[in-house]
Amino acid sequence: MSLTELSASEALELFVKGEVTSAALTRACLDRIESHDEQVGAFLRVDAEAALARAADIDAQRLAGKPLGRLAGLPVAVKDVLCDRQTRTTCASRMLENFRPPYDSTVVANLKAAGAVLIGRTNMDEFAMGGSTENSAFQLTRNPWDLQRAPGGSSGGAAACVAARMAPLSIGTDTGGSIRQPAGLCGVVGLKPTYGRVSRFGLVAFASSLDQIGPLATNTKDVALLLEAIAGHDPRDATSLNVPVPNYSESIHRPLTGLRLGIVREHFGAGLNEEVEQAVRNALRVYESLGAEVKEISLPHSKYAVATYYVIAPSEASSNLARYDGVHYGHRADQAEVLAELAAEQEQLEATGDQRTLENLDTSLVRMYRRSRAEGFGPEVKRRIMLGAYALSAGYYDAYYLKALKVRRLIRQDFDAAFEQVDLVVGPVTSEPAFKLGEMTDDPLAMYLIDLYTVSANLAGIPGISLPCGFTQSGLPVGLQLQAPPLAEETLLRGAHMYEQATDWHTHKPPALL
């Protein structure tokens, strides 16, 4: 058996027993990347030398009997959106192609402190905007279960590298489903924590009131282990919650008694793929056989979640991405070209006598900003910036942004009411299994509607997990989503683990990559 088939928890046990070294596991992951990532494209960059040196260092520390962190020696892949000091952090954008942050994000610092071996940086939709990873400026990532299909996104590389057994643990981010959706489409486990559970310091911001960082792995126990390592209060993120971090990887073994599950009436209507629905309904029967009570609940405002999200997220994005001005860091248009372009326009306007346009001609500074951003950003990022700038512009603020914030509260109140009756809300992650690469690229709105079941958790700030619950006839994974009240990650993980113990979906591996 290859070492890459080990779960993170199994590998840790073998490290402690002295039967496997971190160097051997890291080497096995690097070999797997070498042999299979040309097909999958999960990684943007892999630093084999640094990873092996780090692994050897951890092994030496272990041999010397030094105290080690909870992830000591485990390879972890990181989505290319979290700052890693002096290491390229591109957000899969031309804008940040050569950006080397001067500091570590808190999550990366926590991973390093826990003894993780940072094995590489994973591909994503540019600035985490998208649901297929096709918006990466650099490369496509393919779904390990069917290489003609998308891995989902925006954490597509993060999910695909775990599904392809290139890394046991992986870090993603989730603003509207970007961990849970690719986890579901790639047949792995992915958890979006409560807003504030994990520090976002050093995470390149997309939509600040929605962004969360979370773990992906092949199984719930590994997800619990990784969450423990990254969660906790951080004074450098004012939205980070100052509450203790439970011992998730220990409590996960305690099944929940008297578990009440709520299925959302509105999620089982038209538009839900039959095979996906069947897999989810089968999962509910598994829960019932484990003693859980399943009851129907209603989230009456859930049908407005995507509309709410596509006002709030782009608005925040347009504001956050204003920082890319070609001055402090990032791409900058060639100054000579900018000045020549302006001079030519001015000359033409003078010749035609178009005084009004001439007076409104960009200054050289403004044109430098505009051209740098036009060259540095891809189409989806531009679309979201434009949408957000429009929603926030004079005359529209009340009708769009303020209205969306009010509907957001109603969405949260729906969940609060639901959690009076049930412990977890359960349902599909996506309405369809993995779609073909290129299938959605010409229809932005259709792509946005993929987020239907996942965006509500971000708007409400609650945690959610996606775990494998079956396959379609054609062999594509189906994900089951569980959602819990704020800070109830323990319940979420225990509930997910119960199901995992009773099924073997999480043990299946992509046949295309054997």
Query: Which is closer to other proteins, CB of 152 or CB of 326?
Result: 326
Catalytically annotated residue among 22, 178, 318, 456: 178
Residue 472 phi, psi (nearest 5)? -80, 170
The minimum distance between CB 94 and other proteins, in angstroms, equals: 13
Asked about 364 being catalytic, the answer comes back as no
Cα separation, 122 vs 152, whole angstroms: 13
Q: Among 286, 307, 358, 512, indicate the residue that binds other proteins (CB under 8 A).
A: 307
Query: Which is closer to other proteins, CB of 278 or CB of 393?
Result: 393
102 binds other proteins (CB under 8 A): yes
Using CA atoms, how far residue 16 sits from 65, 115, 222, 311, in Å, is 10, 14, 16, 50
The Cα diameter of the chain in Å comes to 83
Catalytically annotated residue among 7, 22, 79, 456: 79
Three-state secondary structure of 15-33: HHHCCCCHHHHHHHHHHHH
The residues, any chain, with a CB within 8 Å of residue 9's CB and separated by 6 or more, are: 219, 221, 222, 225, 249
The minimum distance between CB 253 and other proteins, in angstroms, equals: 28
The minimum distance between CB 170 and other proteins, in angstroms, equals: 24
**Bond into 315 cis (ω within 30):** no
Query: Which is closer to other proteins, CB of 263 or CB of 405?
Result: 405
DSSP 8-state code for residue 85: T
The minimum distance between CB 296 and other proteins, in angstroms, equals: 23
Cα separation, 97 vs 63, whole angstroms: 39
Asked about 154 being catalytic, the answer comes back as yes
The minimum distance between CB 401 and other proteins, in angstroms, equals: 9
Cα separation, 178 vs 185, whole angstroms: 11
Concatenating the DSSP letter of every residue in 392-407 gives: HSTTTTIIIIIHHHHH
Region from 99-107, 128-136, 155-163, 420-428 binding other proteins, contact rule CB under 8 A = 99-107
Three-state secondary structure of 181-235: HHHHHHCCEEEECCCCCECCCCECCCCCCCCEEEEEECCHHHHHHHHHHHECCCC
- Among residues 172, 94, 175, which one has the least CA distance to residue 135? 94
Kind and range of the H or E element at 349?
Answer: helix 335-352
Question: In the window 387-426, what residues touch other proteins (CB under 8 A)?
Answer: 387-390, 393, 399-400, 402-410, 412
Catalytically annotated residue among 105, 132, 154, 249: 154
Query: Which is closer to other proteins, CB of 284 or CB of 306?
Result: 306
CB atoms within 10 A of CB 353: 7
Query: Which is closer to other proteins, CB of 15 or CB of 310?
Result: 310
Region from 68-76, 145-153, 323-331, 432-440 binding other proteins, contact rule CB under 8 A = 323-331
The minimum distance between CB 435 and other proteins, in angstroms, equals: 19
- Among residues 58, 79, 62, 50, which one has the least CA distance to residue 169? 79
Q: Among 60, 339, 340, 417, indicate the residue that binds other proteins (CB under 8 A).
A: 339
Residues 470-499 vs other proteins: string with x where CB under 8 A? ----------------x-------------
Residues 283-302 vs other proteins: string with x where CB under 8 A? ------------------x-
The minimum distance between CB 16 and other proteins, in angstroms, equals: 37
Residues 202-241 vs other proteins: string with x where CB under 8 A? -------xx------------------------x--xx-x
Classify the C-alpha dihedral 454-174-55-71 as positive or negative: negative
**Which tokens belong to 118?**
């940072």
The minimum distance between CB 256 and other proteins, in angstroms, equals: 24
Query: Which is closer to other proteins, CB of 419 or CB of 505?
Result: 419
332 binds other proteins (CB under 8 A): yes
Cα separation, 73 vs 162, whole angstroms: 17
Tokens 């299925």, residue located: 263
Question: In the window 114-173, what residues touch other proteins (CB under 8 A)?
Answer: none
The minimum distance between CB 358 and other proteins, in angstroms, equals: 15
Region from 54-62, 113-121, 378-386, 427-435 binding other proteins, contact rule CB under 8 A = 378-386
Query: Which is closer to other proteins, CB of 77 or CB of 306?
Result: 306
Burial, 481: exposed, middle or buried (Cβ in 10 Å; 0-12, 13-18, 19+)? buried
133 in Cβ contact with 140 (< 8 Å): yes
269 binds other proteins (CB under 8 A): no
Residue 118 phi, psi (nearest 5)? -80, 110
Region from 21-29, 244-252, 426-434, 441-449 binding other proteins, contact rule CB under 8 A = 441-449
Query: Which is closer to other proteins, CB of 227 or CB of 306?
Result: 306
Q: Among 43, 248, 369, 419, indicate the residue that binds other proteins (CB under 8 A).
A: 369
Query: Which is closer to other proteins, CB of 11 or CB of 459?
Result: 459
Count of chain residues binding other proteins (CB under 8 A): 77
Positions annotated as catalytic residues are 79, 154, 178
